[in-house]
Amino acid sequence: MSVKITVDSTCDLSRELIEKHDLSVIPLYTVLGDKSFADGFEIQPDDIYDFVSKNGALPKTSAGSVEEYRARFKEYVDAGDKVVHFNISSDMSSSFQNATIAAGEVGGVHVVDSRNLSTGSGLLVMDAVELRQKGMSAEEIAETLRKKTHLVRASFVVDNLEYLRMGGRCSAVAMLGANLLKIKPRIEVNDGVMGMGGKYRGSYDKVLIKYVDDVLSATDIDRRRVFVTHTRCDSGVVESVVDYVNKKGMFNEVIETTAGCVITSHCGPNTLGVLFEVTK
């Protein structure tokens, strides 16, 4: 009996990582007008930018249904697998609740509330891959990682506040002042909830270097891996951040990934984060 690891589409792991580690993605949905699209399957971030540009409004996002989770879980359990499934924080979506209901109906499925989003969840998924390789059962993997969610350090720096304004997270006056003063907010995830983690001032490329220095000053950093995850940023800016993180020599692996439709819908283009774990 093998362990199947499933993830929701908000984990923002690359297709290469998903295929390499035999992961299965269950999508959330992005709603454009009156049509709903499976995140990463039927819609990509560029579609979000086009929609916002044409309509001056953000798309909505929604969770997968209980029925969809049930069908996917049953597929793997019927094949003889035990399942460990990772969801975006339960404070951000009803997907965890729906997956938990479906898991109870199917049996043999262990659902983990990542208390995070994007590659903050992805870090836990990569941990699960390593624990599976060590021969842990699905139940043991899930229980181990539920106890590790507080060790994830996830944050992003947003270059432009327009998407946050449209989403009601920033007033027009605050956005205007921030843009005039070149203020870039840092968004952090703490105990499953996004909040303001600080502010930077200056050009985006220089702000990102300061941000990297700040977040990597944390103590007891888990040196196995770090994600540099971004929405549609200038390739030169992303490359400079990745190179800077590499030159610090703090991590065995520096992984660049592009954020999917959920992060894109909330933060917009030119958003970049450095995400890692600590050991205690």
Same domain? For 136 and 191 the reply is: no
Confidence of residue 24 (pLDDT cuts 50, 70, 90): very high
We report the CATH number of the domain holding residue 135 as 3.40.50.10170
Residue 174, amino acid: A
Confidence of residue 199 (pLDDT cuts 50, 70, 90): confident
pTM for the full model? 0.93
Q: How many domains does the chain have?
A: 2
Query: Per mean pLDDT, which range of 87-96, 168-177, 213-222, 241-250 is the poorest?
Result: 168-177
Same domain? For 81 and 8 the reply is: yes
Q: How many CB atoms lie within 10 A of CB 24?
A: 15
Mean pLDDT computed over every residue of the chain: 91
We report the CATH number of the domain holding residue 252 as 3.30.1180.10
By residue range, what is the domain housing residue 107? 3-149
Structure confidence by residue, pLDDT tens digits, 131-183: 999 999 999 999 999 999 999 999 999 987 767 655 544 443 344 344 544 67
Residue-level pLDDT at 242 = 98
Final residue before a domain boundary, out of 149, 174, 195: 149
Residue-level pLDDT at 193 = 87
Same domain? For 264 and 143 the reply is: no
Same domain? For 196 and 271 the reply is: yes
Same domain? For 121 and 244 the reply is: no
Same domain? For 103 and 168 the reply is: no
Same domain? For 109 and 221 the reply is: no
Same domain? For 7 and 145 the reply is: yes
Helices (H), the chain: 15-20, 45-55, 66-78, 95-106, 119-133, 138-146, 162-166, 172-180, 204-215, 235-248, 261-267
Average pLDDT over residues 48-53: 91
Same domain? For 66 and 111 the reply is: yes
The alpha carbon of 229 is separated from its chain's Cα centroid by a whole number of angstroms, namely 8
* Range picked from 2-16, 52-66, 158-172 for highest mean pLDDT: 2-16
Same domain? For 35 and 118 the reply is: yes
Final residue before a domain boundary, out of 87, 116, 149: 149
Same domain? For 160 and 69 the reply is: no
Average pLDDT over residues 82-101: 96
Residue-level pLDDT at 122 = 98
Average pLDDT over residues 232-244: 95
Confidence of residue 194 (pLDDT cuts 50, 70, 90): confident
Final residue before a domain boundary, out of 120, 149, 178: 149
HSE-CB at 255 with a 13 A cutoff on CA atoms is: 23
Instruction: Please give the structure tokens belonging to residue 110.
Output: 């262990």
How far, in Å, CA of 104 to CA of 126, rounded?
25
Same domain? For 100 and 211 the reply is: no
